[in-house]
Each structure stands twice: as structure tokens, then as C-alpha cells.
């Protein structure tokens, strides 16, 4: 089809649509009346309700894992290991210093790093316990203190030459 024929067809359609299409009818008085109010519309308040202001209070206490990170840095964990310390603490206890597992495979585990009581109970080699021999704690329940727990975990990490005590 040539350009001229396409143009002619478009012009023909435009002109015929002007004369063929009629104006829409004007609405009747009944059609201009407002719609009746339904029950649920009648219950709406006549004026809009004022918006409420939501007051948010910033969280001032750091989350548990941030506390573990800061305390691990404080007790002397190497900077390169800090993120792994937090990952292990999260996996073991969700970073909670009071976590306790009384049904561990070897005994009981305490605190954020879930230090096993194997390290704090008397043994053949350490009459009072390994951790007690190094002056890190007195009784296993001391491992519920986050600082003590992270110091004990650091000692175990060094003794194990890495993360083997946590199966990593």
C-alpha cells in the first residue's frame, strides 16, 4: 500500500467519525442525584480523623551480638577473628551470655560461646580443672559471665590452634 492511499484512508476514517459519532445524551435529573448512602457509608465520620503521630524511641542498648563483638575485642581476640567469634556465638547461643545446654554430647555447655564443662571440671591432668589452672574462673557457672566466657573461649581457641573445638 502506498503512502498516499494510507493517508487517504486515515483522512476518510477521521472525517466519517466526526459525522457518524453522536454526542452522548445529557444526563437526566434522576441520574444527577447523589447515590443513596449505604449503611457502612453512614457510619463514617463526617470529618476526617486526625492522624496520629507515632513516637519511636531509639534503641540505646546494643544487641547481644554487638555486645559479643565488643567484648571479644576487649578480651584480646585477634581482629581477623572477631566476625567469626560473633558467627560462632550466634550459632551456639544466639549471642546470649546466659545460654545453657545441659544435654551436650560431652557434658554441659555454658554461655555465649557454649564452652563445655570439660574445660572446667577436674581431670586427670588438672585437679581443679583446666580453666581453673589458668586462673580464668573458679567454677563452671562463671562461664555465664560474657567476659569470662570469651576469655575461656580464647584460651580454648589458642589451645586448639583454631576453631576445632567448635567443629569448624
pLDDT tens, residue by residue, 38-60 = 555 555 556 666 676 777 666 55
pLDDT of amino acid 108: 92
Crossing angle for the helix pair 146-159 and 64-75, nearest 10 degrees? Answer: 60
CA distances from 69 to 2, 90, 96, 130 (A): 77, 11, 12, 25
pLDDT of amino acid 107: 86
Nearest 5 degrees, angle CA 131-CA 99-CA 161? 40
pLDDT tens, residue by residue, 9-35 = 777 776 666 666 666 667 777 777 776
pTM exceeds 0.85 for this model: no
Mean pLDDT by 10 residues, the chain (168 residues): 74 66 69 64 61 66 87 96 94 94 87 93 92 93 96 94 88
Pairing of strands 109-110, 115-116: antiparallel
pLDDT of amino acid 22: 61
pLDDT of amino acid 46: 62
- Partners of 101 in the β-ladder: 109
Amino acid at each position: 500500500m502506498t503512502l498516499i492511499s494510507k493517508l487517504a484512508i486515515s483522512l476518510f476514517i477521521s472525517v466519517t467519525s466526526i459525522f457518524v459519532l453522536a454526542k452522548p445524551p445529557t444526563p437526566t435529573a434522576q441520574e444527577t442525584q447523589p447515590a443513596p448512602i449505604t449503611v457502612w457509608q453512614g457510619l463514617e465520620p463526617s470529618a476526617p480523623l486526625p492522624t496520629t503521630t507515632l513516637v519511636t524511641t531509639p534503641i540505646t542498648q546494643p544487641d547481644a551480638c554487638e555486645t559479643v563483638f565488643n567484648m571479644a575485642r576487649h578480651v584480646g581476640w585477634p581482629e581477623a577473628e572477631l566476625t567469626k567469634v560473633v558467627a560462632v556465638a550466634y550459632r551456639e547461643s544466639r549471642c546470649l551470655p546466659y545460654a545453657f545446654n545441659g544435654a551436650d554430647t560431652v557434658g554441659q555447655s555454658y554461655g555465649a560461646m557454649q564452652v563445655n564443662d570439660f574445660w572446667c571440671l577436674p581431670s586427670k591432668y588438672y585437679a581443679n580443672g583446666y580453666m581453673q589452672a589458668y586462673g580464668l574462673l573458679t567454677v563452671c557457672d562463671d562461664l555465664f559471665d560474657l567476659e569470662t566466657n570469651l576469655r575461656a573461649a580464647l584460651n580454648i581457641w589458642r589451645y586448639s590452634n583454631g576453631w576445632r573445638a567448635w567443629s569448624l
